[in-house]
Amino acid sequence: MATESEGEEETAAAGPGNGVVALRDDNLDTYWQSDGAQPHLVNIQFQRKLKLQLVVLYVDFKLDESYTPSKISVRAGDGFHNLKEIKTVELVKPVGWVHISLSGTDPRETFIHTFMLQLAILSNHLNGRDTHVRQIKIYGPRPNPVPRQPFNFTSREFITYSTLR
């Protein structure tokens, strides 16, 4: 289940012409550019508490060089007042989609349940000041369409045959 359409994003600051809308436009040629001092923040607030399992970012060191994030902190909570860091990720010259699992260390913790997610860009490659992020997608756990079935149907056509007579 993709939940990015249920979120409302805000950012600390953006460079002219490179606003938050670029993070969800499905175009890898556009990007959000931060403006100001680090950390650079992307705040995503949801109208209801959601189960989130995966954050996926598209970043490109070959195109963006010093604008490419090198250290990202993922924080979650009910709002700004109680955000807690749940994951810190170090990136080394990434090109493409970066998957950040929100699962805990306990195998039973496969998702987080939150009203707000914050991505904090703590540092960039080559000591860059501002950052570029080309896309952000957020996913929750995929519901199993048929109870007590050990596998998931993956295509729309296959799901139509998920019930046996």
DSSP bridge partners of 116: 45, 77
Structure confidence at residue 7 as a pLDDT band (50, 70, 90): low
**Two tokens at 66?**
């010093």
DSSP bridge partners of 101: 54
Residue 4 has a pLDDT of 46
Q: What are phi and psi of 158, to 5 degrees?
A: -65, -35
What is the residue type of 108?
R
Instruction: Kindly list the domain boundaries of the chain, sorted by start residue.
Output: 4-159
Question: How far is residue 52's CA from residue 35's CA, in Å, rounded to a whole number?
Answer: 28
- pLDDT averaged over every residue in the chain: 86
pLDDT 10s digits, 46-75: 999 999 999 999 999 999 999 999 999 999
Reported pTM: 0.79
CA separation (Å) from 105 to 119, 139, 162? Answer: 20, 19, 33
Question: Over the range 136-157, which residues count as b (16 or more CB within 10 Å of their CB) and which as e?
Answer: bbbbbeeeeeeeeeeeeeeeee
Residue 9 has a pLDDT of 59
pLDDT 10s digits, 99-135: 999 987 777 778 899 999 999 999 999 999 999 999 9
Q: Which helix (H) or strand (E) holds 56?
A: strand 54-60
Regarding the domain delimited by 4-159, which CATH topology (the fold level of the hierarchy) does it fall under? Jelly Rolls (2.60.120)
Looking at residue 142, the DSSP 8-state letter turns out to be P
